């Protein structure tokens, strides 16, 4: 049996290719939208992709099932309870897909979504017992799936489903089964996911406290509280996956835009995403641009800050960065990309176009202001969990997500200094506040990390 895990760093997405070289066919489970890697495997291993299985309707990334079907003709499979509106085949509890030495058995395991399934995988060349289980977003390495994404109106039902799937359905399965989830570290579909690619049912039962509770009431009390932030992109992604994502060839053609063309689209309302580092952006940038630099979880931050329906313009360092950026955006359903600034900021400046700046403040500069009681609003934008680990005294806590929702009730003429862990998120928020009309806004360069490395203390959480 052929088995390969395909990962998307940052979003923390895992997909799988399972095949039988002897039968010369394979199945792809939970494909990412950019599907060339699967096509390469199919070609190199001599296996035709004949099945595309989705463990559920995904909320955090756009599926590649339409792309794969258009290239291979393979059928798309979902749970019988999935409300997708395009042509697909249904799977129900106990269904078996079998070819060559591969046997796939379907388990209905709702909880993360009402339409979630898991897949028991047997390599018949080794034996008749299942070897591993693809758990989708039900069970991760080090965590379980969140039950809230399907909506508050069915949350209680989903918590009960999640308990039954974890404790009853998976409870009947042996400890030795290897667990391969649809997500790893970086995903917002659970909380505290491990960076490890796989585990076993037995190890997760031994090490996850949420799988060791006395009964449903204790389980409910443990998980029905605070959930990870839900990016604004999730609803758009769910709807895209229900309808079927447009083929990438139908997305706007790529364009290299000169400053005049770029500015014309900007003035017509397009959102400018500047992907440069915080220092470069702070020095000079296009007025109204939002700074979201390249880092592992960039797609998650975009999903929190930018509306999925926006027309997008990109400021990137080079063509390679543009290609990387468009791939990241397409993965989360941001398809209205109208081009990038040819020649970058150098071309913009030499063309005499308007610029803005976002002066960061150093740890030493902020310490001097605090010591001299020079008035400013010092706002910590990290999560409550991060702040509990320590914070700068006299700072106010307003999480990033609250500010992006318009919850920063401060005069726009006052000086505001924003603090996060490294300066990355603070710069995102600062650029957004500048867009909203705040005049004197700064980010702490290097964030709390730089503050502590400079030898300054933090208050206990």
Residue 435, exposed/middle/buried by CB under 10 A (0-12, 13-18, 19+)? middle
- pTM here is 0.88
pLDDT at residue 405, rounded to an integer: 84
- Do 2-233 and 363-453 share a fold? no
**CA dist., res. 178 & res. 120, Å (int):** 10
Contact 361, 417 (CB under 8 A): yes
Beta strands in 290-347 (DSSP E): 290-291, 312-315, 337-341
User: What separation, in Å, do the N-terminal and C-terminal C-alpha atoms of the chain show?
Assistant: 51
CB 416 within 8 A of CB 410: yes
Residue bearing tokens 């463990």: 55
Report residues of the chain scoring pLDDT below 50.
none
**Quick one: tokens of 373?**
């009681």
DSSP string over 255-267: -EE-HHHHHHHHH
How far is residue 120's CA from residue 135's CA, in Å, rounded to a whole number?
9
Predicted local confidence at residue 252, as pLDDT: 58
Q: What pLDDT score does 295 carry?
A: 84
Q: 414: closest CA among 393, 396, 391?
A: 396
Neighbouring C-beta atoms of residue 78, cutoff 10 Å? 23
- Which SS3 state, helix, strand or coil, does residue 198 take? coil
> What's the pLDDT score for residue 253?
58
Distance CA 352, CA 287 (A): 13
pLDDT in tens, 51-100: 999 999 999 999 999 999 999 999 999 999 999 999 999 999 999 999 99
- Which tokens in the block code for residue 202? 């037995």
Task: Place domain 251-350 in its CATH homologous superfamily.
Answer: Rhodanese-like domain (3.40.250.10)
Residue the block writes with tokens 């080794």: 126
Query: Angle at CA 248, nearest 5°, toward 242 and 249?
Result: 135
Tell me the pLDDT tens digit for each residue of 424-460.
999 999 999 998 899 899 999 999 999 999 999 999 8
**What local confidence, expressed as pLDDT, does residue 7 receive?**
94
Q: Domain 2-233 has what CATH class?
A: alpha beta
Domain ranges for the chain: 2-233, 251-350, 363-453
For position 254, what pLDDT does the model report? 62
Q: Domain 363-453: give its CATH superfamily.
A: Rhodanese-like domain (3.40.250.10)
- Write the Ramachandran bin of 77: left for phi over 0, alpha for psi from -120 to 50, otherwise beta: beta
- Residue burial 106-136, b: 16+ Cβ < 10 Å; e: rest: bbbbbbbbbbbbbbbbbbeeeeeebbbbbbb
């Amino acid at each position: 049996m052929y088995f390969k895990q395909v990962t998307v760093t940052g979003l923390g997405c895992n997909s799988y290719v399972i095949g039988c070289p002897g039968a010369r066919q394979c199945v792809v489970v939970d494909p990412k939208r950019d599907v060339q890697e699967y096509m390469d495997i199919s070609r190199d291993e001599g296996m035709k992709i004949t099945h595309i299985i989705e463990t559920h309707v995904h909320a955090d990334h756009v599926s590649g099932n339409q792309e794969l079907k258009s290239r291979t003709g393979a059928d798309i499979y979902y749970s019988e309870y999935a409300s997708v509106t395009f042509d697909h085949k249904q799977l129900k509890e106990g269904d078996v897909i079998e070819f060559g030495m591969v046997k796939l058995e379907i388990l209905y395991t709702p909880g993360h979504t009402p339409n979630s399934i898991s897949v028991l995988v047997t390599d018949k060349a080794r034996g008749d017992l299942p070897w591993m289980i693809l758990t989708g977003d039900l069970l991760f390495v080090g965590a379980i799936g969140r039950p809230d994404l399907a909506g508050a109106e069915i949350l209680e039902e989903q918590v009960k489903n999640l308990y039954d799937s974890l404790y009853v359905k998976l409870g009947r399965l042996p400890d030795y089964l290897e667990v391969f989830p649809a997500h790893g570290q970086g995903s917002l579909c659970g909380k505290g996911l491990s960076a490890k690619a796989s585990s076993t049912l037995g190890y997760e039962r031994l090490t996850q406290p949420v799988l060791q509770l006395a009964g449903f009431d204790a389980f409910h009390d443990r998980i029905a509280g605070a959930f990870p932030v839900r990016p604004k992109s999730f609803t758009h992604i769910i709807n895209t996956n229900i309808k079927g994502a447009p083929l990438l060839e139908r997305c706007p053609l790529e364009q290299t835009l000169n400053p005049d063309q770029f500015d014309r689209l900007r003035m017509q309302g397009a959102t400018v995403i500047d992907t440069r580092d915080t220092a470069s952006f702070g020095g000079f940038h296009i007025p109204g641009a939002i700074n979201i630099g390249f880092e592992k979880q960039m797609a998650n931050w975009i999903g929190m800050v930018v509306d999925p329906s926006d027309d997008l313009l990109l400021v990137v360092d080079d063509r390679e960065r543009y290609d990387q950026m468009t791939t990241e955006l397409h993965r989360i359903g941001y398809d209205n990309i109208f081009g990038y600034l040819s020649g970058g900021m150098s071309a913009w400046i030499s063309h005499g176009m308007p610029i803005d700046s976002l002066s960061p403040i150093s740890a030493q500069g902020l310490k001097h202001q605090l010591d001299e009681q020079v008035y400013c609003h010092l706002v910590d934008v990290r999560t409550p969990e991060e702040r509990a680990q320590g914070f700068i005294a006299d700072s106010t806590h307003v999480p990033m997500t609250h500010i992006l929702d318009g919850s920063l009730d401060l005069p726009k003429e006052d000086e505001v200094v924003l603090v996060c862990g490294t300066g990355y998120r603070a710069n995102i928020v600062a650029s957004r506040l500048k867009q909203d009309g705040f005049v004197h806004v700064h980010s702490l360069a290097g964030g709390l990390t730089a503050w502590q490395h400079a030898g300054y203390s933090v208050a206990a959480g």
